[in-house]
Amino acid sequence: MSELALSKYRRLVVKVGSSLLVDDTGHLNRSWLQKLADDVADLATAGHEILVVSSGAVAIGSSVLGINKQRARLEDLQAAAAAGQVQLVHAYQECLGLHNIVAAQVLLTPDDTEDRRRFLNARRTLEKLLERSVVPVINENDTVATIEIRYGDNDRLAARIAQLVMADALILLSDVDGLYTADPGSSDAAEHIPVVTSINPETLAMAGETRSAVGTGGMATKVQAASIAMHAGCSTVIASGVIPNPLRALDDGARCTIFHASATPAAARKQWLAGVLEVRGELQLDDGAVKALRDGNSLLPVGVVAVSGNFRRGDVVSLKNVSGIDIGRGLAEYSEEEATRLAGLQSDQIEEALGYRGRAVMVHRDELVLFDND
Ligand code: GLU
């Protein structure tokens, strides 16, 4: 086993590039996908949680609709994505289904991962799927994502997903087995780099503009993805998928580049929360709630004694104890107006107070940081 043995990662996001799944004529490589699904099943059986970010919708759909990708307009590609996505996800459903694993299609736009309100929604959905041992198969919602607002490449989308679900590893499978000092396609002197601990201008320069014929992202988007993931405490692996069972191969020591994250996802999230300058409001907590938070629990409405400020769901609020001392920060699950109505109520009174079912917590334990000051 290499240093990378996947067993040390609990939650993995695996990004599958189009060039692996789809051949030059736009046909899905079913036997490869089945082997990938076999690997996913092995990992799931060993207790890992896996999310797949898969490209391929545009490539498959272009062949189904007879669209020439090189000459197509954006709306043609969007139409292609709509037709291709059905086939793509159906293939995942069948291949994972052979292992009795349920696949779920999740289509996202950048808004869903960049806007904090929607970020929380997407996150809860993905968490629920993982709780039920479902494998989310994620792609960009190409049919509505226009040129100005789309990711355009799934490397960065996958990094955002890794950040969203606090994954500890992001695996970018494509037709390259890692980062080289120069483009290995055009330079014999190019040397493979097995480990990167920080991304600097030199790293970015090495990534250059290497591109593959079928996929969208090159090495540059992979390094950008690694940078996003590393800041979120998630290590990133660039590895070749041009072999059957690519995840098993990685586990057995196949060549790759690993970008090591220095913090854990939880520590990185807390560090980010602690540093947010834009605090939109305050929740004052009773002593019982402060203790519950220090014991690692979420903040429930019953522990909130006062609400102030002007915040919406997903905004950062300051958490105060009864003496008014700032003891931490958290992402509000409710707006200020709703939080005011819920303060002091038991969780089973939420529905009556709001007129809809609502969420049980005011601030989720994964979305808060406590200072060591009271
Ligand atoms: N969302 C695109 C597709 O499914 C792929 C983007 C990419 O290649 O990274 O075809």
CATH of domain 6-265: 3.40.1160.10
Residues facing 237 on adjacent strands: 171, 258
For ligand 1, the distance from its centroid to the CA atom of residue 16, given in whole angstroms, is 9
At 217, the pLDDT band (50, 70, 90 cuts) reads low
pLDDT in tens, 321-365: 999 999 999 999 999 999 999 999 998 999 999 999 888 999 999
pLDDT of residue 1: 34
pLDDT in tens, 35-62: 999 999 999 999 999 999 999 999 999 9
Order of all β-strands in the sheet with 279-285: 304-309, 279-285, 316-320, 326-331, 368-370
pLDDT of residue 274: 85
- Residues 6+ positions from 176 with CB-CB distance below 8 Å: 184, 210, 212, 219, 238, 240
**Ligand 1 atom closest to Cα of residue 55:** 4
Other CB atoms within 10 A of residue 292 CB: 18
Name the pTM for this structure: 0.87
> Which ranges in the chain are annotated with CATH 3.40.1160.10?
6-265
> Which ranges in the chain are annotated with CATH 2.30.130.10?
276-370
With 80 as the cut, is the pLDDT of residue 219 above it? yes
For ligand 1, the distance from its centroid to the CA atom of residue 325, given in whole angstroms, is 48
CATH of domain 276-370: 2.30.130.10
pLDDT of residue 149: 65
Residues facing 326 on adjacent strands: 320
| C-alpha distances out from residue 353 to 339, 341, 345, Å | 10, 7, 9
The verdict on the CB of residue 63 being under 6 Å from ligand 1 is no
The verdict on the CB of residue 174 being under 6 Å from ligand 1 is no
Share above pLDDT 90 across residues of the chain, in percent, rounded to a whole number: 70
CA 321 remoteness from chain centre: 33
pLDDT in tens, 186-209: 788 889 999 999 998 888 888 875
Q: Which helix (H) or strand (E) holds 193?
A: strand 192-193
For ligand 1, the distance from its centroid to the CA atom of residue 163, given in whole angstroms, is 19
CA gap 4, 289 in Å, rounded: 41
pLDDT in tens, 8-38: 999 999 999 999 999 888 899 999 999 999 9
**Ligand 1 atom closest to Cα of residue 54:** 4
**Ligand 1 atom closest to Cα of residue 152:** 6
